[in-house]
């Protein structure tokens, strides 16, 4: 699931994948994959394409690496100087990747794609999409967008929350503090105060988001896309209607179980707070996540944090690395440990950092880093395993066999799916027991307890209506102009109510912008369906690993120390984007993308919930699946 500020989201690539990092970088060198089977003209145009790519790369790679380093500085030490340096570095990159001659040559080459190799065509498509992010045919618009992106990130990363207390004093809670209150407090007034404080950040981001929408759309339309959302979807080789249809099917597939979870959770929360359960939607401040995208802290009686008490934060990342090396992956490069920013910034230092967990591939080689704020608990244990999934994906395809333009996931969702897959594996009881992190009460708990926890807390059932429903529909409509500028909050909560069955605790005026409180809306735009598809992909890969490789129950299995699991994963990761993602998935699992394994995984939970909810009304007024 996305690595949001409650887990430290994005999950960049792993959580912070802005337009300057969206496309892969090429590197100089001879490109593999030449074929002579295209007639007399084929060798000439293939040689011309190779020469173009190599020349393009030689100019671009040093600038892109410098821009990646500047973006890292701007995220790990927020300041005006670092923001300015990021803008300057990005503008230099854009002058190369979006140059008019690049756009012209790529269009000409793709016009004769039947004469080119598959690898050449795939690389040219990546160049085209990257150029569309910063076309030199619109230099003023591109420059304005770079500045606006940087300004918005600086506002977001440097924002200080302020909670006004009833005695007149004020508190400046961190994101982690807000999340802790929402996770543990049983005082509804306190919960409401902290929830409302968490939404303050939307107001100063509102105008910047509207400006960014217009600039992003102008850039996309410069290369023939209807809007920015369509440009982002093009990376999948799909149109907008196809993507929305895919997301709608995902929501429909999990809707029966989500409705049962919604009903059960509403009554459990009402009991916890000593109030009556509402007849329809769940009040947003009742939930333990600021956006209701997952619902941690529900399953009582099993303290998954207990085994981590007293352990140093460093243990979390070190154990995550041990998980991968047990599968046959190499140890992380020493530079990972020296260049990453893994722990909370010391408040006394005055340094501000982005609190969104992410993984970075700065040079498309071995400069890999992670940005986290690790605390010794179970959620950060899962997050660290997830983020290292991105890191090991980076390292697996950073080899001479993969043209650097194709050094990315088979599609963007593959990165999220692999990270989430390892997060799922990290929560399996046999693994936790083997490494001494399973409390006795957790070991003795019924299987339904862990299925309930997975459905509520991970990127699975509760997460999908948010990812495939709310976020995808809001951004599609936002960029298509279907949500009026003076109705951003109304449009946001309409979709939250429809897909999640969640309602705000009070009026949300249009001076605010609750959509903008989600970091992806600002700096990882138009791509949230990646997480939904990645979630479905996670269960599909996990089902194959458990049943076909380990010969174990998918709900109680252990990857740790199994070289065959590592070999299976590497067979996918090392391909990068050299193959069509549908073909890669079919060859790996025997079928195309399907939610069947996900639904099957939770079948025992569905039966348990139906028994628990007997006699209770299910659904909410806007529920799209309610008859």
Mean pLDDT of 129-138: 89
Q: Which of 420, 496, 492, 494 is nearest to 457 (CA)?
A: 420
pLDDT at 457: 84
Predicted pLDDT of residue 31: 35
Exposure of 614 by Cβ count < 10 A (0-12 exposed, 13-18 middle, 19+ buried)?
Answer: exposed
Determine contact, residues 388/561, Cβ cutoff 8 Å.
Answer: no
Compare 35 and 589 and report the one with higher pLDDT.
589
- What SS3 state is found at 528? coil
Per-residue exposure over 262-274, b if at least 16 CB sit within 10 Å of its own CB, e if not: bbbbbebbeeebe
pLDDT of residue 36: 39
| Cα separation values, 5 from 108, 257, 522, Å | 44, 26, 14
Put residue 508 in one of left, alpha, beta given phi > 0 → left and psi -120 to 50 → alpha. Answer: beta
- On the question of pLDDT at 12 being above 80, the answer is no
Instruction: For residues 509 and 494, give the distance between their C-alpha atoms in angstroms, rounded to a whole number.
Output: 14
Question: Cα separations (Å) of 249 from 148, 216, 461, 583?
Answer: 35, 28, 13, 21
Q: Which of 11-25, 245-259, 334-348 has the lowest mean pLDDT?
A: 11-25
pLDDT digits (tens, 9 = 90+) for 277-320: 999 999 999 999 999 999 988 877 778 899 999 999 999 999 99
- Rounded-to-integer distance, Cα 162 and Cα 268, Å: 30
Maximum CA pair distance of the chain?
Answer: 84
pLDDT, tens digit (0-9, with 9 covering 90-100), for 476-502: 999 999 999 999 999 999 999 999 999
Residue 22 CA to residue 145 CA, distance in Å, equals 15
Task: Evaluate whether 603 touches 543 at the Cβ level (below 8 Å).
Answer: no
Q: What confidence tens digit (pLDDT) does each residue in 512-565 have?
A: 999 999 999 998 999 999 999 999 999 999 999 999 999 999 999 999 999 999
Contact 499, 532 (CB under 8 A): no
**165 Cβ partners below 8 Å, 6+ apart?**
171
- For 75, the token pair is 């995220």
Q: What percent of the chain has pLDDT over 70?
A: 93
Instruction: Report in angstroms the alpha-carbon separations of 497 from 262, 470, 506, 512, 620.
Output: 12, 9, 14, 18, 8
Question: Span 39-49, mean pLDDT?
Answer: 75
pLDDT score at 32: 37
Confidence class of residue 42 from pLDDT cuts 50, 70 and 90?
low
State the Cα–Cα distance between residues 2 and 11, nearest whole angstrom: 5
Buried/exposed code over 223-233 (b: 16+ C-beta within 10 A; e: otherwise): bebebbbbbbb
Mean pLDDT of 112-119: 95
Task: Tell me the mean pLDDT in the region 562-577.
Answer: 98
pLDDT band (50, 70, 90) for residue 626: low
Q: Is the pLDDT of residue 449 over 70?
A: yes
> Among 259, 98, 284, which residue's Cα sits nearest to residue 195?
284
Can you tell me the distance from the alpha carbon of 493 to that of 483, in angstroms, rounded to the nearest whole number? 12
Q: Specify the higher pLDDT residue, 8 or 77.
A: 77
Backbone Cα Rg of the chain: 24
User: What is the pTM assigned to this prediction?
Assistant: 0.85
Q: How far apart are the first and last CA of the chain?
A: 30
Contact 292, 466 (CB under 8 A): yes
What local confidence, expressed as pLDDT, does residue 162 receive? 95
pLDDT the model gives residue 43: 61
């Amino acid at each position: 699931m996305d690595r949001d500020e409650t887990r430290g989201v994005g999950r960049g690539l792993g959580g912070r994948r802005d337009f300057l990092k969206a496309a892969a970088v090429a590197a100089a060198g001879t490109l593999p994959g030449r074929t002579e089977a295209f007639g007399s003209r084929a060798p000439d145009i293939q040689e011309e394409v190779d020469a173009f790519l190599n020349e393009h790369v030689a100019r671009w790679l040093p600038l892109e690496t410098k821009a990646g380093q500047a973006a890292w500085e701007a995220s790990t030490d927020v300041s005006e100087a670092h923001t300015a340096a990021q803008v300057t570095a990005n503008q230099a990159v854009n002058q190369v990747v979006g140059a008019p001659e690049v756009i012209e040559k790529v269009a000409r080459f793709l016009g004769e794609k039947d004469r080119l190799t598959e690898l050449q065509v795939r690389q040219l498509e990546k160049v085209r999409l990257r150029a569309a992010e910063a076309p030199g045919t619109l230099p003023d618009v591109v420059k304005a967008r770079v500045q606006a992106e940087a300004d918005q990130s600086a506002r977001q990363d440097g924002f200080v929350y302020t909670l006004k207390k009833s005695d007149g004093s004020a508190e400046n809670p961190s994101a982690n503090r807000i999340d802790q209150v929402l996770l543990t407090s049983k005082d509804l007034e306190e919960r409401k105060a902290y929830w409302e404080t968490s939404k303050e950040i939307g107001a100063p981001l509102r105008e910047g988001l509207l400006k960014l929408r217009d600039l992003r759309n102008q850039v996309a339309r410069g290369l023939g896309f209807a809007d920015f959302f369509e440009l982002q979807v093009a990376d999948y080789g799909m149109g907008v209607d196809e993507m929305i249809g895919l997301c709608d099917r995902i929501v429909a597939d999990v809707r029966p179980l989500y409705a049962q979870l919604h009903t059960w959770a509403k009554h459990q929360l009402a009991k916890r707070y000593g109030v009556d359960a509402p007849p329809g939607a769940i009040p947003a401040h009742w939930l333990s996540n600021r956006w209701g995208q997952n619902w941690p802290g529900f399953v009582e009686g099993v303290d998954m944090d207990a085994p981590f008490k007293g352990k140093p934060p460093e243990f979390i990342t070190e154990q995550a690395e041990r998980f991968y090396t047990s599968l046959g992956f190499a140890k992380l490069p020493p530079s990972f440990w020296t260049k990453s920013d893994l722990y909370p910034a010391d408040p006394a230092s005055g340094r501000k950092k982005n609190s969104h967990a992410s993984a970075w591939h700065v040079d498309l080689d071995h400069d890999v880093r992670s940005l986290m704020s690790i605390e010794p608990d179970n959620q950060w244990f899962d997050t660290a395993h997830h983020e290292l999934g991105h890191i090991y994906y980076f390292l697996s395809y950073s080899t001479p066999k993969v043209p650097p333009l194709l050094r990315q996931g088979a599609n963007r969702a593959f990165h999220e799916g692999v990270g989430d897959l390892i997060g799922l594996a990290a929560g399996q009881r046999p693994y936790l027991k083997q490494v001494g992190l399973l409390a006795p009460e957790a070991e003795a708990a019924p299987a339904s307890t862990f299925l309930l926890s997975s459905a509520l807390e991970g990127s699975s059932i509760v997460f999908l209506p948010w990812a495939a429903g709310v976020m995808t529909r809001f951004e599609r409509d936002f960029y298509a102009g279907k949500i009026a500028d003076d109705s951003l909050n109304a449009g946001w909560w309409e979709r939250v109510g429809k897909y999640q069955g969640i309602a705000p605790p009070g009026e949300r005026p249009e001076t605010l912008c609750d959509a903008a409180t989600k970091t992806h809306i600002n700096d990882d735009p138009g791509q949230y369906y990646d997480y939904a598809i990645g979630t479905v992909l996670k269960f599909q890969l996990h089902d194959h690993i458990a049943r076909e490789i380990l010969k174990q129950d998918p709900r109680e299995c252990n990857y740790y120390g199994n070289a065959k699991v590592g070999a299976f994963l590497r067979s996918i990761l090392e391909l990068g984007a050299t193959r069509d993602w549908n073909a890669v998935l079919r060859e790996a699992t025997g079928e195309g993308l399907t939610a069947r394994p996900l639904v099957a995984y939770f079948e025992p939970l569905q039966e348990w919930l139906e028994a628990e909810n007997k006699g209770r009304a299910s659904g909410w007024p806007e529920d799209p699946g309610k008859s």
